[in-house]
Structure 1
Amino acid sequence: MNEVVFSPIGVLRTPHLRPESMPIQPAGARGVRGEALLAPHVGDGLLHLDGFSHLILLYVFHEVGPAKLRVTPFLDSQAHGVFATRAPCRPNPIGLSVVRLLGVEQDRLLLEDVDMLDGSPLLDIKPFVPSFDVPVDAVRIGWLAASHDAAEAARSDARFQHG
């Protein structure tokens, strides 16, 4: 396969300064505010973004350790394939979060429900559209059926960090 190289379009600023004890999903970060500081050259891409209540952010898990194909995720005590989890130690450490958009100020997005680590490089922004992004027939959630409700209270620990 060919190598794919991305350049960040900005950086995420959040109150989560260390991976330990940060929320593991946006559900655990309700009301937590942050911002996306965008590179000036992408500012024109924000036209009409303020008409959306929520955004999908794609970013880099920049402080994660090496990739693992089997992991014990935060919401379970047994190992699963990394692609059956949302663990950050992926072959391509790309994070995805749905956040609330509070405002657009030039090259700065004001956000809420931020669960990502401060300083995360931002790769892309997409508007969240419920009729596109929430399949009505999505009913199976695999092994998470037994524990997904715990995501609001669950916090990160050091298991996926460098070193």
Structure 2
Amino acid sequence: MNELVYKPIGIIRSPFTEPKGTPIQPSGAIDIEGKIEVFPEYKEGLKDIEGFSHIILLYHFHLVKKSTLLAKPFMDDKKHGIFAIRGPSRPNPIGLSIVRLEKVEENTLYIKDVDIIDGTPLLDIKPYVPKFDIKEVKKIGWLEKNVHKVTSMKDDGRFVNE
């Protein structure tokens, strides 16, 4: 298969300047403010986005040095397959966060619940639509015993150093 190349459509701004201390999921980042600076050539694509209270951000984990297929996630002390965790050291270092959209001014989106490091390249934005995106979940694997930790866990820098 041919190599795939993506171009960032903007930059994510947040109060977090390094991985260490950053919330590990948006549910652990309630009310933390940030913004998205969409590059001017993509501004037209923002038409009607202000009608959504939440948006899905797809972004590039730009600080990850290498990928791994087994990793110890923040909420467990055992290694799991990278596709069974949400850690950043992935074969394709793509992150996903659902954030609250507060307002839009020109090509800047003001957001809350930000768990993303300042300067992160944004790959795409999609509207969050509960009817499409909420599924009835019957099991959540190894996270079943640890999911309660998400609001208190912070990044300890482990994935940048791998």
TM-score normalized by the length of structure 2: 0.98
What is the Cα deviation at residue 162 of structure 1?
Answer: 4.2
SS in structure 1 of the partner of residue 62 of structure 2? coil
SS in structure 2 of the partner of residue 37 of structure 1? strand
Q: Give 1:44's aligned residue.
A: 44
Structure 2 counterpart of 1:59, one-letter code: Y
Structure 2 counterpart of 1:16, one-letter code: F
Same amino acid, percent of matched pairs:
48
Unaligned runs of 5+ in 2: none
Q: Give 1:145's aligned residue.
A: 144
Contact 1:63 1:162 in 2 (8 A): no
Task: Kindly report structure 1 stretches of 4+ aligned residues shifted beyond 4 Å.
Answer: none
SS in structure 2 of the partner of residue 104 of structure 1? strand
Structure 2 counterpart of 1:43, one-letter code: K
Q: Give 1:67's aligned residue.
A: 67
- Deviation sequence 1:110-139 (CA, Å, 0-9, x none): 00000001000000000000010011x322
Number of residues of Structure 1 aligned to a counterpart in Structure 2: 162
Q: Give 2:94's aligned residue.
A: 94
For 2:44 and 2:31, how far apart are their aligned partners in 1?
A: 28
- Deviation sequence 1:90-112 (CA, Å, 0-9, x none): 00000000000000101000000
Q: Give 1:7's aligned residue.
A: 7
Structure 2 counterpart of 1:129, one-letter code: V
TM-score normalized by the length of structure 1: 0.97
What is the Cα deviation at residue 22 of structure 1?
Answer: 0.7
Aligned-CA RMSD value: 0.8
For 1:83 and 1:14, how far apart are their aligned partners in 2?
A: 26
Q: Give 1:112's aligned residue.
A: 112
For 2:14 and 2:138, how far apart are their aligned partners in 1?
A: 32
What is the Cα deviation at residue 65 of structure 1?
Answer: 2.4
SS in structure 1 of the partner of residue 27 of structure 2? helix
- Deviation sequence 1:29-76 (CA, Å, 0-9, x none): 000000000110100111110000000000011111210000000000
Q: Give 1:132's aligned residue.
A: 132
SS in structure 1 of the partner of residue 103 of structure 2? strand
Structure 2 counterpart of 1:161, one-letter code: V
Contact 1:28 1:153 in 2 (8 A): yes
Contact 1:37 1:108 in 2 (8 A): yes
Contact 1:19 1:157 in 2 (8 A): yes
Contact 1:29 1:115 in 2 (8 A): yes
SS in structure 2 of the partner of residue 114 of structure 1? coil
